[in-house]
Amino acid sequence: MSGSLFLTLILNGLAIGMLYFLVAVGLSVIFGLMHVLNFAHGSFFMVGAYVGLAVFRRFGNPAIGTAPTWSFFLAMLAGALACGAIGYVVERFLIRPLYKRPLFLVLLTIGLILVIDESVKLIWSPNSQGSVIVPGLAGTVQIGDQPFALYRAFLIGFGLLMMGVVWWVINRTKIGIIIRAGVQDAGMVQTLGINVREVFTLVFAFGAALAGMAGMATAPFMGVFPQMGGEFLLKAFIVVVMGGFGSPVGTALGAIVLGLTEQFAPWLSPQWAGIAPVGMMVLVLLLRPEGLFNLSGRRAG
Amino acid sequence: MSEILQVKDLHTYIGQFHILQGVNLTVEQGGVTCLLGRNGAGKSTTLKTIIGLLAPKSGTIGLAGGGAGAGPALTNIGGRPAHQVARLGIGYVPEDRGVFVDLTVEENLRLAERKRGDLAAKKDWLVKLFPDLERFWQQKGGRLSGGQQQMLAIGRALVPENKLLLIDEPSKGLAPIVVEQLAGALKELKRQTTIVLVEQNLWLAAAVGDRATVLDDGRTVWAGVMADLMASPELQNRYLGVGRAG
C-alpha cells in the first residue's frame, strides 16, 4: 500500500466517521440520560436530508442538482431546525408519558419509523432524489497519486468543529454538568432543584437536530433516499455500543473506529468487508464489555 | 418555637409494599431532629417521600412557607416532584451520598446552584467547614474517600439557601475519627439551619440531636427530646435495640 493510498483511506474513514458521530451522539446521550432506545433516530436523520434538500433546491436548479454554496449551509440548518422541532414534540407529547413503560417506548419509536418514513414517501415520493452538488465543495484535491474529494475534507473539518461544540457543551457548561450527572443518576439531580424532564426534552431535541443536520450533510456524499435512515441507524447503534452509552467522547471514538474499519476492511479482505463493522464491534465488546467510555449505569456513590 | 415541617399520618408504598404506615413527624425551626429506628423502620423512605422521590399514598407533608406566599403557614407539599420541593428550600443528602463520581468537586457543587453566584458566595464558608473540599476542588468525586464524599454531599446541600436539610445516615461506613469530624460540622451547621438527621449511630445522634422521633415498622412510636431518649435505657431497648441500634 502506498503512503498516499494509506492516507486517503484514513481521511475517507475520518469523513464518514464524522457523519456517524453526528447521528450517533444524540442516540448515545439520549439513551444514557433517559434510557430511551430511540429507534426513530435514523428517521430524524432522513427527514433532515429531505427538508434540507427542499430548501437547497429552492435556491438552485433542481434539474442539475445544484444551488449556491451558501444555500447548502442554510439547508443543513433547516434540516437541524426541522428535526429539532420534531424531536421536541415527540419527546414532550409522546415519549414523556411513557417513561415508566420501557417496552411501550420501544414500540412507540418503532411505530414512529413507520409514520415518519411513510409520510416522507407521501410528501417527496418513494424514489431516490437526484444528486446534490455543492459548487464550492465540489471537485478533488490530490494527495500524492490519489484524488481526495473536497467535500470529504469539508466533512472532516465540519465534524471536528461539531465534536468541539458538543465537547464544550458537555464539559464546560452548566447544562453539560446536568447531563453528565443525569446520566449517572437523574433522580439525584432532581433533588438538587433541577427539572430533569425539561433537560430530557432539550437533549432529545438537540440530538434529533444533530441527526437532521447529519442527514443533509450526507446528501452530497451518498444522495437522499427513504432507506437512508435505516442504514445509518444500524451504523449509529454499532458506534454507540462500541463507544459506550451516554459518552460523547466514546461516541466520537466509536464513530472514527467504524469509519476507518469500513475503509480498510475491503482493502485488507474484500470477502470479509461486509461484516467487518460488526466484527469490530464484537472485538471491542470482548476487550471492553462496557464500551470504550461507558458512563451510563454508573450510580452516584 | 415554630414548626418548619409537619408530617401527618404519612403512608407510602414502594411497588406493592406498604412501607410507611402512619408516620408523624414534627420538626421545629432550628436544631437537629433525629429520625431513629431499627433497619427497615422506614426512616429513609420518610426522607424520600418528603423530598418528592416517592409519592405518598395518603397523609400530608406541611412545610412552613411552602405556598405562594412566604408566610409561616404550613402548605402540603406531599406528592410534588422533587425539583419543586428542593426549590422550596429543602436540601437532601441521601444515604449513598449521591456524589456524582465523574464530576469534579467543583462541578458537584455547581450543580446545586439555584442562581449564578450561589457557589462563589458560599465557597469560603464551605471550605472552612470542610477543608478537604478545597484540597480536592478539581478532583473527580469518585476519587474521594467515603468521608470526603460525605463532606461533599453535605456541602452541596449547603450551596443554595436551604431552610431545611434532610441528611440520611451520614456516618454510614465512616471511620470513628471521621464521624467525630462530622459531628463537629453538624454542630456548626445546626446553628444556621434546621436539620432532620436519620442516623443508626446513636453516639452521633446524641452528640448533635435536640429532638428525636422513633419509627418502628413504618409508624411513629415515640417523639420527644433527645436527652430523654438517651436517659432512658428502657426506651432505647424497646425501640432501638440497645447495643445494636447504637
- Sorting pLDDT into bands at 50, 70 and 90, what band is B161? very high
**Chain B closest CA to A193's CA: distance in Å?**
4
**Chain A closest CA to B76's CA: distance in Å?**
18
Which of A33, A180, A191, A249 would best serve as a mutation to test chain B binding (most B beta carbons within 10 A)?
A: A191
Return the closest-CA partner of residue A28 out of A231, A289, A293: A293
Contacts of B163 in chain A (CB under 8 A): none
A positions 277-296 inside 8 Å of B (CB)? 295
Out of A177, A185, A193, name the one closest to residue B98 (CB). Answer: A185
Counting one residue from chain A and one from chain B, the pairs whose CB atoms sit within 8 A come to 76
| Interface contact flag, A177 B103, Cβ < 8 Å | yes
DSSP string for A165-228: HHHHHHHHSHHHHHHHHHHHHHHHHHTTT--HHHHHHHHHHHHHHHHHHHHHHHHHHH---TTH
pLDDT, residue A295, reads 56
Out of B82, B108, B160, name the one closest to residue A190 (CB). Answer: B82
- Sorting pLDDT into bands at 50, 70 and 90, what band is A299? very low
pLDDT, residue A297, reads 45
Amino acid (one-letter) located at B8 = K
Spatial distance between the Cα atoms of A254 and A233, rounded to a whole number of angstroms = 14
User: Per DSSP, what are the bridge partners of residue B3?
Assistant: B28
Measured from the Cβ of residue A58, the count of other Cβ atoms closer than 10 Å reads 13
Q: Which residue of A has its CA nearest to B146?
A: A301
Out of A184, A191, A195, name the one closest to residue B92 (CB). Answer: A191
| Interface contact flag, B112 A190, Cβ < 8 Å | no
| Interface contact flag, B111 A195, Cβ < 8 Å | no
Spatial distance between the Cα atoms of A83 and B173, rounded to a whole number of angstroms = 48
Contacts of A193 in chain B (CB under 8 A): 83, 86-87, 112, 114, 160
Spatial distance between the Cα atoms of A227 and A127, rounded to a whole number of angstroms = 10
Spatial distance between the Cα atoms of A93 and A181, rounded to a whole number of angstroms = 25
Per-residue pLDDT averaged across B24-51, rounded? Answer: 95
Out of B53, B87, B142, name the one closest to residue A187 (CB). Answer: B53
Residues B11 and B18 sit within 8 Å (Cβ to Cβ): yes
Measured from the Cβ of residue A16, the count of other Cβ atoms closer than 10 Å reads 24
Q: Does A178 touch chain B (CB under 8 A)?
A: yes
Spatial distance between the Cα atoms of B200 and A243, rounded to a whole number of angstroms = 42
| Interface contact flag, A177 B94, Cβ < 8 Å | no
pLDDT digits (tens, 9 = 90+) for A188-233: 999 999 999 999 999 999 999 999 999 999 999 889 999 999 999 9
| Interface contact flag, B100 A184, Cβ < 8 Å | yes
**Chain A closest CA to B229's CA: distance in Å?**
32
User: Which of A38-42, B54-58, B234-238 bottoms out in mean pLDDT, i.e. has the lowest?
Assistant: B234-238
User: Per DSSP, what are the bridge partners of residue A140?
Assistant: A149
pLDDT digits (tens, 9 = 90+) for A68-97: 999 999 999 999 999 999 999 999 999 999
Measured from the Cβ of residue B166, the count of other Cβ atoms closer than 10 Å reads 27
Return the closest-CA partner of residue B197 out of B160, B169, B178: B169
B9 pLDDT higher than 80: yes
pLDDT, residue A143, reads 84
Amino acid (one-letter) located at A147 = P
**Cα-based distances in Å from A212 to A246, B19, B243:** 20, 47, 64
A positions 181-200 inside 8 Å of B (CB)? 181, 184-185, 187-196
Per-residue pLDDT averaged across A129-153, rounded? Answer: 89
Per-residue pLDDT averaged across B154-179, rounded? Answer: 94
Out of A184, A188, A191, name the one closest to residue B102 (CB). Answer: A184
Residues B212 and B230 sit within 8 Å (Cβ to Cβ): no
Return the closest-CA partner of residue A234 out of A39, A85, A83, A88: A39
**Chain B closest CA to A178's CA: distance in Å?**
7
Contacts of A185 in chain B (CB under 8 A): 98, 100
Instruction: Please identify which residue in the block is written with the cell numbers 422533587.
Output: B82
Cα-trace Rg, chain B: 17
Average pLDDT, chain B: 92
pLDDT, residue B242, reads 60
Spatial distance between the Cα atoms of A30 and A183, rounded to a whole number of angstroms = 9
| Interface contact flag, A301 B102, Cβ < 8 Å | no
Residues B50 and B166 sit within 8 Å (Cβ to Cβ): yes
Q: Are strands B164-168 and A140-143 parallel, antiparallel or unpaired?
A: unpaired
Residues B85 and B92 sit within 8 Å (Cβ to Cβ): no
B1 pLDDT higher than 80: no
Q: Does A100 touch chain B (CB under 8 A)?
A: no
Per-residue pLDDT averaged across B20-45, rounded? Answer: 95
Higher pLDDT, B69 or B101: B101
Out of B85, B110, B149, name the one closest to residue A177 (CB). Answer: B110
Spatial distance between the Cα atoms of B195 and B91, rounded to a whole number of angstroms = 9
Instruction: Please identify which residue in the block is written with the cell numbers 436519620.
Output: B198
pLDDT digits (tens, 9 = 90+) for B187-197: 999 999 999 99
Contacts of A196 in chain B (CB under 8 A): 83
Per-residue pLDDT averaged across A246-274, rounded? Answer: 91
Contacts of A300 in chain B (CB under 8 A): 96-101
**Chain A closest CA to B140's CA: distance in Å?**
12
pLDDT, residue B245, reads 41
Contacts of A192 in chain B (CB under 8 A): 83, 86, 111-112, 156
Look at the alpha carbons of A25, A29, A35, A36 in this order and tell me if their dihedral is positive or negative.
negative
Return the closest-CA partner of residue B183 out of B165, B166, B158, B201: B201
| Interface contact flag, B100 A192, Cβ < 8 Å | no
pLDDT, residue A63, reads 73
DSSP one-letter code for B68: S
